[in-house]
Amino acid sequence: MQRRIIFSSNEIRNSFFEEVLVVSQFKNWQSLANFFQINRNLLLKYRLGKLTLPEEIFRKLILMFDSSRERFFESKVSYVDPNWGRIEGGKSTYNRHREIFEHGRQKAIETSKRRAHKFNVDIPLGEELSYFIGLFIGDGFTNKYQRYHIIQFTGDKRFEGDFYRGLITQYSRQLFNLNPTIYEGKNTNALRFNLYSKELFHLITQRFKISAGRKSKKVLIPQKILDSRPEILKACIRGLYDAEGCVFFDKRKLYKKPYVRIELHMHNLQILKQVSKILSLFEIENTLGSFKDNLRVVVYGKEQVKKFVKEVGFSNPKHLSKLKSLI
């Protein structure tokens, strides 16, 4: 049986659960209970301190915080055997078990220090970082909630689960020393890839000048990337296409064989103009237009698609699998 968690005071316990609801983006307590597949009344007992919190649930919840808050709450809990029983919570519990708390707190502080992460926001602009920024421009979202900073990517769990758990998790660890928290919708195909980091928030919003919040109609490829060498620029475009690109085979009868296209749809004319210009720079023929108010850049035909794959390429398996017969 797993250990249980005791908070050092009612105030700390209340603060912990309130902050969980903020940083997790769950709409309400019922949504959080559903995520853990427990009854809402049981979650309420955990929140009120009528029952000690299972360590497994605590570990999943604390991953939602940035490093500083994670260390803080780690230092404010103690661990007891599973048969320790029900508690009233609060200061009286702490006073009765002061030695247990102090021992657990010191151990938690030492553990959290070892797990703390930092990275230099001025890390060199290489292909991996440029790709990450391109992917973020397409599928990313960042914002600050009080003291907490979240960077989130959204994808389709049916086709992109391995992509985010593999390559993007690898980049997050290599570039930023960050481990993601990944959620999959139970009744939807949504996948959410969350990173919690003040440093990464500042890298995106300050160094690369990408505003926090919703950005689809105003974001542009950062000037720092536009001014870089071709390989770095291509990596950014590859990330953008991995996020927002679409591989399409037109099977209408007017074509002897399915006619392949690569399309980029975004409600942002200015960034599409940037992309079209960059593709032309690498001698990839493309058109910029709209269809039923849907702005898009299109690369037509087998030869131009092959040139796109050679010059820019894809890293997302959902695109590569469609192009397997061509490449």
State whether 89 and 184 are in the same domain.
no
State whether 150 and 103 are in the same domain.
no
Transcribe 143-166 into DSSP letters: EEETTEEEEEEEEEHHHHHHHIII
Task: Say if residues 141 and 152 touch (Cβ distance below 8 Å).
Answer: yes
State whether 58 and 175 are in the same domain.
no
CATH, residue 181: 3.10.28.10
Cα first-last separation, the chain: 52
d(CA 117, CA 177): 6
Last residue of a domain, one of 92, 115, 138: 115
Residue with tokens 């973020």: 136
Last residue of a domain, one of 85, 115, 145: 115
Angle at 105 between CA 83 and CA 19, to 5 degrees: 90
Q: Which of 22, 26, 2, 4 is closest to 14 using CA atoms?
A: 22
Print the domain residue range for 46. 4-115
Q: Which of 180, 175, 242 is closest to 207 using CA atoms?
A: 175
pTM tops 0.85, yes or no? no
Last residue of a domain, one of 115, 138, 164: 115
pLDDT tier, 249 (very low <50, low <70, confident <90, very high otherwise): very high
How many CB atoms lie under 10 A from the CB of residue 184?
13
Give residue-wise pLDDT tens across range 28-68: 888 888 877 888 899 999 999 989 898 888 888 887 777 77
In a domain, 250, yes or no: yes
Give residue-wise pLDDT tens across range 266-291: 989 999 999 999 999 999 999 998 76
In a domain, 326, yes or no: no
In a domain, 160, yes or no: yes
In a domain, 204, yes or no: yes
State whether 148 and 94 are in the same domain.
no
Please tell me the total count of domains within the chain: 2
In a domain, 325, yes or no: no
Specify the amino acid at residue 327.
I
What are the backbone dihedrals phi and psi of residue 288, each rounded to the nearest 5 degrees, phi first? -115, 120
In a domain, 327, yes or no: no
Predicted local distance difference test score (pLDDT) of residue 173: 94
CA dihedral 253, 255, 256, 262 (to 10 degrees): -130
pLDDT over 70 percentage in the chain: 85
State whether 151 and 298 are in the same domain.
yes
State whether 110 and 50 are in the same domain.
yes
Q: Return the percent helix, strand and coil in the chain, to nearest 5.
A: 50, 20, 30
